[in-house]
A and B are shown apart, each in its own frame.
Chain A
Amino acid sequence: GAGVSQSPSNKVTEKGKDVELRCDPISGHTALYWYRQSLGQGLEFLIYFQGNSAPDKSGLPSDRFSAERTGGSVSTLTIQRTQQEDSAVYLCASRGQGSANEKLFFGSGTQLSVL
């Protein structure tokens, strides 16, 4: 596609349920990032993929959070046993390869609400 696509755009779930968030990066972009943004706050780094591997997953807040990327393309972020503090906008971004491609292209995000 022309841009980074995220789905769903909004997700309402009950506390304790698992959720999966999807990110479809720009075709050919090797790097993919997940960030989280709580209401009125800055972006909190979660995880970074280069191809299918995740050299930096230091931002995942707990073992309830996991992410994978297959085929060097689509990525899913899974949150198990959701808690109310997981409510936030989850943003995905992708980047091309090399020093000439340092800017990130963001999707529109998934607004997650845990009731």
Chain B
Amino acid sequence: SQQGEEDPQALSIQEGENATMNCSYKTSINNLQWYRQNSGRGLVHLILIRSNEREKHSGRLRVTLDTSKKSSSLLITASRAADTASYFCATAYTGTASKLTFGTGTRLQVTL
């Protein structure tokens, strides 16, 4: 399976703290994307990083990509209770650029 692996599987932090999630994948990619899922239904795109990029920011989100280690991390700064959700990385593998392969997800709980 080309499915990526994320860790931790679950993360519980207090509001105001930073949350870091990691994603590892298996073969070379065109890009890597992060998605958020509330309540086990539709996913929402958060951020995309291309294989020739190392870091990208969007608001309170920071994504890094290390192609030599085949890994990415998503950092959410100053977390809020509303950030409580599951977060998935998705990779567009070279040669299968039209298909996104999703990781197993990290369940983030932000408490007041």
Which A residues fall within an 8 A CB radius of B? 4, 31, 33, 35, 37, 39, 41-43, 45, 48, 50, 55-56, 89, 91, 93, 102-109
Contacts and interface: CB of A to CB of B under 8 A. Distances in A.
A56 B98 contact: yes
Nearest to B98: A48
Interface residues of B, number: 23
A52 to B, nearest CB: 15
A42 B3 contact: yes
10 contacts: A35-B102, A42-B104, A48-B98, A55-B98, A89-B40, A102-B33, A104-B35, A104-B43, A106-B43, A109-B41
A102 B32 CA distance: 10
B42 interface: yes
B101 interface: yes
B103 A42 contact: yes
A31 B104 contact: no
B41 A108 contact: yes
Interface string B47-83: 0100000000000000000000000000000000000
Contacts of B45: 103-105
Contacts of B48: 102-103
B18 interface: no
Which 3 pairs between the two chains have the least Cβ-Cβ distance?
A43-B102, A103-B45, A106-B42
A45 B99 contact: yes
A42 B102 contact: yes
